[in-house]
Amino acid sequence: MTPKYLLKRLGQAILTFLVTMTVSFLLYQAMPGGPTEAMRSVILSQSGGSVDIDRLNRMIQLYTNVNPDQPMHVQYFNYASDVILRQDLGTSFFKNEKVTTLIMQRIPWSMFISVYALALGYSLSIFLGVMTAYREKSRFDSTVSSLIIGLNSIPYYIVGVVLIYFLAIQNNYFPTGGRIGSGIAAGYNPEFMLSLVKHAALPAISMGALATSGALAMRGNAIRVLGEDYIRVAQLRGLRETRIATQYLGHNSILPMYTQFMIGIAGVFSSAVIVEEVFAYPGMGLLMFEAVKTQDYPLLMGTLLVFTAISLTAIFIADLTYTLIDPRISVGEE
C-alpha cells in the first residue's frame, strides 16, 4: 500500500463528505420553513412577537451557525468552516445544548447496538450461508433459505414490533424499551451488564435481521467455492474438516462480500433511526428522529453529518483492509 494511494483514498473520502455536507446544507436552506425560518418562528412565538430584528438574527446565528442576513454562499462558508475547523455543529434549539455534546452522549449507545447487531447478523449470515451450501438441496437448506428470504422481505422495523409483542409484552423475557433498567447503578457489576445486554438485545436482533440478507449471497459463494479444485485437493490431502470449512470454504466465500459487509455497516447505522424509535432506545437514531419531529435543524444536520462520516470511515477501512483478506488484490498499483 503506497502513501500515494492512501492519500488519494482519503482525499476521495473527504470530498464525498464535503459534497454531502454541501448538498444537505443547500437542501435544508431551500426547504420552505428552512432552519432560519423555523428558528425565527420558534423565537417569535415564544416571545410573543416583541423581539427586535437584530437581536433575533444574532440568536439565530448563535444557534444555527448561520446568519440569515448574509447571502447564501457566505452562510455556507461560515457553516462549513465551523464544522471543519472548530468541529462545531451548532446548538440544538430545542434541547438548548451543543449538537456535538448531544451526539457524543448518544453515540456509544448506538455503537453498542449496531456492533451487537452486526456481529449477530454477519456471523449468522456467514454460518448459515456456509451450512446451507454444505447441505445444498437438503431439507435444512430449503428451510433456512426460505426463512431468510422471508425475513428479508419483512421490513426490519416490523420484525422489531413483532419481537416486542411476543418477547416483551406477551412474555416478559425482554424489556419493551429504554437502554437500562431503572434503579440499576452504572458500573461494572453483573446486574448492570445484564440489563444493558437485555435492553439492547431486541433492537440488535431486529437490526441484525437486516444484516442476514448476506446469508443468501454467502450461500451462493460457498456453493461456487465448494466446486473449486482446491477444496477437493484439501480433502485429498487429508486436512481436518474444520480447517477446510473455515480457512478454505469460509475465507474464500467471504471475499466477494467483504466490501458489501462494510457498506452494510452504514445501512445498519441508518436503520438505527427507526429501530431506536420503535424500541424507545435513546441513541443517535432516536436523536435524529426527534430532531426531524421538532424541526431542530442544527441537530438534524449534525446527526446526518455524523452518519455520513461513519459510513465513509467504514468504506475507507474496507478499502484499506481488503488486501489483508485477499492477497491477490494489490492496493495502490495502477
Residues that bind another protein (CB under 8 A): 228-230, 232-240, 243, 247-248, 251-252, 255, 325-328
Closer to another protein at the Cβ: 101 or 247? Answer: 247
Q: Please, which residue, 134 or 289, has the CB nearer to another protein?
A: 134
DSSP per residue, 200-246: HHHHHHHHHHHHTTHHHHHHHHHHHHHTSHHHHHHHHTT--HHHIII
Is 13 within 8 Å of 318 (Cβ atoms)? no
Distance from C-alpha of 117 to C-alpha of 197, rounded to nearest angstrom:
12
How near is the Cβ of 261 to another protein at its closest, in Å? 16
- Cα(223)–Cα(121) distance, integer angstroms: 20
Question: With respect to another protein, which residue has the nearer C-beta, 54 or 333?
Answer: 333
Cβ atoms 137, 172 nearer than 8 A: no
What is the distance between the alpha carbons of residues 118 and 214, in angstroms, rounded to a whole number?
Answer: 11
Q: Kindly state the smallest distance separating residue 237's Cβ from another protein, in Å.
A: 5
Least Å distance, CB 133 to another protein, is 14
For residues 189 and 321, which CB has a smaller minimum distance to another protein in the complex? 321
- Measured from the CB atom, the residue of 173 and 230 that comes closer to another protein is 230
- Residue 183's Cβ-count burial label (10 Å; 0-12, 13-18, 19+) is exposed
Rounded Cα distance between 290 and 263, Å, is 26
- DSSP-derived letter for residue 165 is I
Residue 73 or 137 with smaller CB distance to another protein: 137
178: enclosing H helix or E strand: none
Beta bridge partners of 91: 98
| Min separation Cβ 235 and another protein, Å | 7
3-state class (DSSP) for residue 64? helix
Minimum CB separation of residue 252 from another protein in Å reads 6
Q: Is 87 helix (H, G, I), strand (E, B) or coil?
A: coil
Q: How far is the CB of 6 from another protein (least distance, A)?
A: 22
Per the CB < 8 A criterion, the answer to whether 91 and 63 are in contact is yes
Nearer to another protein, 191 or 228 (CB): 228
Closer to another protein by Cβ: residue 41 or 235: 235
Q: What stretch of H or E contains 103?
A: helix 99-134
**Measured from the CB of residue 240, what is the shortest distance to another protein in angstroms?**
5
Question: From the CB of 238, what's the least distance to another protein, in Å?
Answer: 4
CA dihedral in degrees (192, 194, 196, 199; nearest 10)? -130
Q: How far is the CB of 187 from another protein (least distance, A)?
A: 43
Contact 132, 219 (CB under 8 A): yes
The number of residues making up the chain comes to 334
Report the residue number, 70 or 323, with the smaller CB distance to another protein.
323
